[in-house]
Homo-oligomer: A and B are copies of this chain.
Amino acid sequence: MARLMRGSAPFSRVAETTNIARVAAVAAPVRSQVVEMLRAAITGGQFAPGQRLVEKDLCDSMGVSRPSVREALRQVESEGLIVTIPNRGPIVSQLSVRDVASIYEVRGALEALAAQLFSTNASDEQVKDLDAAVTQLEAAYKTSDVEKIVVAKRIFYDVLMEGRGNIILPTLFRTMNARVKQLRRVSLSSPKRATISLREIRAVLRAIKQRNPEAAFKASLHHVKEASKVALASLRS
């Protein structure tokens, strides 16, 4: 794992001349870099579920101090990605079938809310953006490149969540999503699911274009429910 850059030291000598670049470069404190790394490692599968995360090891591999790591761990913990066992330390969350079902239920509620709000509040421009995102997603599905699909899907949701409506929805949704990210990678790779999934998303888009909140709500909910089914099925096998 790559070591972190200590923000301050490399720049202090040239502060006068590169002030603007420096502000941008240093902006992220060490602990949030650690948070990002942990998140990425967990959702990306580098850390297996159930695996212990020993503070010392994390410090060594990232080249930061224990306080920084611990603060980051607290944050990742409250996002649900790790669980801390008293006097034992953190382990990567293991999702039971029930956990996954619960998360998808909540995600469904949030996503449906987002679609509903979007259909009433979004500007025409934003609707156009969403349309573009769906087109993009369609192209991604055709390539069958999981990485591309994931990116396209994220863009779609980013647009949907931003829809000038709810401020806290994006954050919440992302947290929910992060927790099932490993699974999603599995369920997305099924080509059969691809075409169906796309059709569901198109239904959401259609409802939004018609400015029909109720239909958008239902279509969105339906989409998540189907995704949930696939994820749960793949989990049980």
Contact = CB atoms under 8 A, between A and B. Distances in A.
A167 to B, nearest CB: 5
A166 interface: yes
Tell me the number of copies of this protein: 2
A74 interface: yes
A36 interface: no
A71 B106 CA distance: 28
Interface in A34-85: 67, 70-72, 74-75, 77-80
Interface residues of A, number: 32
A74 B165 CA distance: 27
A109 interface: yes
B105 A113 contact: yes
Contacts of A159: none
B113 A166 contact: no
Contact of A169 (B80, B106, B167): B106
A168 to B, nearest CB: 5
A112 to B, nearest CB: 7
Nearest to A76: B78
B102 A109 contact: no
A163 to B, nearest CB: 12
Nearest to A27: B86
A110 B110 CA distance: 8
Contacts of A71: 70-71, 74
25 contacts: A29-B86, A70-B71, A71-B71, A71-B74, A72-B74, A74-B78, A75-B75, A75-B77, A75-B78, A78-B78, A78-B79, A99-B168, A101-B166, A102-B165, A102-B167, A102-B169, A105-B165, A105-B169, A106-B110, A106-B168, A106-B169, A106-B172, A109-B109, A109-B110, A109-B112
